[in-house]
Amino acid sequence: MTLALLDLLIIGGYLLGTLGLGVYISRLASRDMNAYFLAGKEIPWWALGVSNASGMFDIAGTMWLVSMCFVYGLKSAWLPWVWPIFNQVFLMVYLSVWLRRSNVMTGAQWLQTRFGSCRGAELCQLVVVIFAIVSAIGFIAYAFKGIGKFAAIFFPWQLSPDIYALIIFAVTCLYVIKGGMYSVVFTEVLQFVIMTIAAVAVGLIAINLVSPEQIKAATPEGWDDIWFGWQLDLNWQGLIHSVNDKIRADSMELIGLMIMMMLFKGVLFSMAGPVPNYDMQRILATRSPKEAAKMSGLVSLVMFFPRYMMVTGLTVLALVYMGPEIQAQGGSFDFEQILPYAIHNFVPVGLTGLLIAGLLAAFMSTLAASLNAAPVYFVNDIYKRYFRPDAEERTYVQVSYLVSLVLVLIGVGLGLMLSSINEIMQWIFGALFGGYAAANLLKWHWWRFNAYGYFGGMMAGLLASLFLPFFMPDTHPLFAFPLLLALSLAGSIVGTLVTRPEPDEVLCAFYRQVRPWGCWGPVRDKVIAADSNFELDTHPFRDMVNILVGIAWQICLVVLPIYLVIQRWTQVWLALALAILTSWFLKKNWLDKLKN
């Protein structure tokens, strides 16, 4: 498969333009660490929100979503809960405000506001740095595997997927490592605009070329139904036999159990707050806690419609026009290749170049965000603190260049050893992030939890997730989550109870600054006794109601473009009405009540 000259020119022009913009802006980032990693906290919240949405619009994740939509139809709208996608709702409702009130540069540095500067707090910071670096390497490998598979389909040179991935990595690293968050955010805003135009165009092409009758003929009974029972009950026999094998390989026959596990893990993980990656960095880069909350809300608002227009458009085109070819290939067909095959066969010249440029942009956004977020943990929390506390600011920026390069090399090495996108995605979101939940949930909501408990819980979860593939190779990471949670929770509680509580002055200072809700009674009483005018500003019931409504709002935003592309007009109007109603509720009960 090869691209037309016009498409190649569009892609080449885009890559050169992005590189030029990133290098041009990079002069702003070289002033100091705050400018390099947080853009001086000068970027508007809406730009950070669009940038964050662009970073989540990654090519590997999009390939996975297309394959899931192809196989599971409307029920695939629930599957991003494995990440979980609804963590953005928890962030917008209250956690972004709590995190931004700390006014720090990294998640590891934030731990000083919670646990002070004792020996245990230093151990906490060390384990968070390790987690940030390990997760960044996982994301880099995830991006490497996705972009290589994608590029090998289109580009005319007879190179392997890994060689293509190495070339595109090199171009991205040039502007990201040099330009820091300034380059990341400004190029991602441009990339999101390109991606949105291309994605909506693909959805419109599918609406024009595919009728509801054709979709119904190409799919099994229940494919276009969002609701599910205990069993999946999707039988592809007589249509595409190999899809049934794919369902068994994904362990999705008991979809009710899978969704329950995703919800259970997702709620605990979301309450734990963002992991130390690009999501957290954008929250810390906002100008105020109120803007941090608005930024997190904007991510869901702008991301789903264009993404699912493209995902569903490519899915139905492949279903209707490629079904016999996929059936002929039998079990050898790679469902993660549906996206590039559909683009090549059904998207016209010119728009193909724009769409591929947009998907490259999405890939570059994911890689750029990971590369910007991880080095700050090593530079700020290890190098600056223990080795060169008095170095010039430019020295710290230069060290970050080296750390970014090393992370890329390790991530690429891991990517070369993986066989599929799903393999690394399941490990990152199922195992690694699963081991993160217990300790980080307790740090927000339990006053007695201390630094040694945090260190014990994080180390137990991190080690368990790293060794999971070796000791339980045939266990789905989602089903292993209860074990990971139990080990991490045991490490957290044992570490806490065998050591002393944190000093009152540390706990009271944290409570005054962050004002969390949960089991904070003794600390709250001490703060109020010292200052009778202290404003609690905690409203857990209102937050929980807003989260339930916010998750429903998010689901409406996901299914609305899916129903639009498959032309189920009754469901389109119903989803739109529910989206408007939930938006109005959140404006009244969340947005209007945010404080400056």
Residues 313 and 310: their CA atoms lie apart, in Å, by 5
Q: Report CA 74 to chain centroid distance, whole Å.
A: 21
- What DSSP assignment string belongs to 187-218? HHHHHHHHHHHHHHHHHHHHHHH--HHHHHHH
What is the pLDDT at residue 335? 65
Q: Residue type for 458, please?
A: M
Buried b / exposed e over 311-331, threshold 16 CB at 10 Å, is: bbbbbbbbbbbbbeebbeeee
Specify the 3-state DSSP secondary structure of 519.
Answer: strand
Inter-residue contact 492 to 438 (CB < 8 Å): yes
- What DSSP assignment string belongs to 311-350? HHHHHHHHHHHHHHHHHHHGGG--GGGHHHHHHHHHSPTT
Is the Cα dihedral 232, 70, 411, 36 positive or negative?
A: negative
What is the pLDDT at residue 213? 92
Exposed/middle/buried for residue 303 (C-beta within 10 Å: 0-12, 13-18, 19+): buried
Q: What number of H helices and E strands is found in the chain?
A: 26, 0
Residue whose structure tokens are 């066969």:
345
**Bridge partners of residue 446, in order along the sequence:** 519
Q: Which residues, 6+ apart, have CB-to-CB distance to 421 below 8 Å?
A: 60, 63, 64, 142, 145, 146, 149, 336
Residues 408 and 371: their CA atoms lie apart, in Å, by 8
Token code pair at residue 160 = 């392997």
Q: Pick out the chain residues at pLDDT < 70.
A: 1-2, 18-19, 21-42, 55-60, 105-108, 146, 149-150, 153-154, 156, 172-184, 275-278, 328-337, 361-374, 418-435, 469, 473, 476-478
What is the pLDDT at residue 247? 82
Residues 347 and 324: their CA atoms lie apart, in Å, by 19
Q: How far is CA 310 from CA 96, 303, 335, 347, 359, in A?
A: 29, 12, 16, 11, 11
Residues 506 and 378: their CA atoms lie apart, in Å, by 25
- What DSSP assignment string belongs to 478-498? HHHHHHHHHHHHHHHHHHHHT
Q: Residue type for 504, please?
A: D
Residues 9 and 467: their CA atoms lie apart, in Å, by 46
pLDDT, one tens digit per residue, over 532-562 is: 888 887 889 999 999 999 999 999 999 999 9
What backbone phi and psi angles, to 5 degrees, belong to 446? -135, 115
- What DSSP assignment string belongs to 397-464? HHHHHHHHHHHHHHHHHHHHH---HHHHHHIIIIIITGGGHHHHHHHHHBTT--HHHHHHHHHHHHHH
